[in-house]
Amino acid sequence: MPDGPKIDYQVIEKDGFDSENPLYNCHVAVCNGKLVGYALYFYIFSTLEQKAIHLEDLYVTPDYRDKKIGSRLFDSVAKRTFDEKCQYLDFSVLSWNPAQNFYKAKGAVDLTEVEGWHMYRLNQESLQNLASKHANDLYEVRDARIEDFNSIKRLAQEGTTQKKKNEQNHDEICISIEENKDFDKPNPYSGYLVALLNDKIVGYALYCYSYSTWEAKSMYLQEFYVSENEHAVNMRNDLFHAVAKKAIEEKCSRIDFWILDPKNAGKFYSCNGAVDLTESEEWHLYRLFEHTKKPL
């Protein structure tokens, strides 16, 4: 973790309240006119699924922690999540933090414990290093365009590790995607990069903009996939470097992401400067689904 906050309240105020496209949303708790707690969250997006919410920070001042204010703040974000038809609510918890019992009581599942998810991070120094690397001239990495969407969807379906859904749900997802009219419009909260070989898209990365109350604007790498081909190893490197370059261009402080296979897939990210924060700091991924949450 960073040694301490690298920004002040003015930056947080500007990024969340003085912007046409705020980088985060925030619920606050007020008691007798005094702000005593807050919950800060942002949206994460998916190619084949509906968007989700990531709860970045939940805090209540010490004098008010026995009044169930934290519970009410969490419930308010959970309600927003499922009122907006988001697929789940994600958040990270340190394994030694007693708050994990609170979250489990709310119905959240520790996916690190159950499925083995690990959190990785690229800090600013690693981003700068990757962004400076020269791309191979054999293929192209660029921002996605509207005409790339079917190829991205095909790759997402090819590379997904999610369990198979029934045919009815699969059809509903495809219809939802095909009727998306905003893919060609600038999205202030997410974007795609694609890798092309002989003018064919063979890889993509989906990134979302996230926020840290310590480091301000950051990036969340949600999806990253390159199909198998003779140049796949180098293409993965160049696509990953392009994501880092995008983060630098967009003035992001870091990139965070979660992976399921740290022993194998984790080697690629570690060789590119990413740190396994689940291994080094014991961060766990928690997820709340609508069907697991306890009644509010």
- Asked whether 130 and 272 are in contact (CB, 8 A), the reply is yes
Cα–Cα dist 22/14, whole Å: 8
Amino acid at the residue 254: R
Give catalytic residues, as residue numbers. 103
In Å, what is the CA distance from 212 to each residue of 25, 55, 83, 109, 248? 12, 11, 25, 23, 16
Q: How many CB atoms are closer than 10 A to CB 77?
A: 20
- Asked whether 86 and 72 are in contact (CB, 8 A), the reply is no
Q: How many CB atoms are closer than 10 A to CB 4?
A: 6
Task: Kindly state the helix (H) or strand (E) to which residue 56 belongs, with its residue range.
Answer: strand 52-60
For 97-161, give the DSSP string.
-THHHHHHHTT-EEHHHHT--EEEEE-HHHHHHHHTSPPPTTSEEEE--GGGHHHHHHHHHHH--
Return the ∠ at Cα 177 (arms to 176 and 180), rounded to 5°.
Answer: 90
User: For the chain, what is the total number of helices (H) and then of strands (E)?
Assistant: 10, 13
Mapped onto helix, strand or coil, the DSSP state of residue 81 is helix
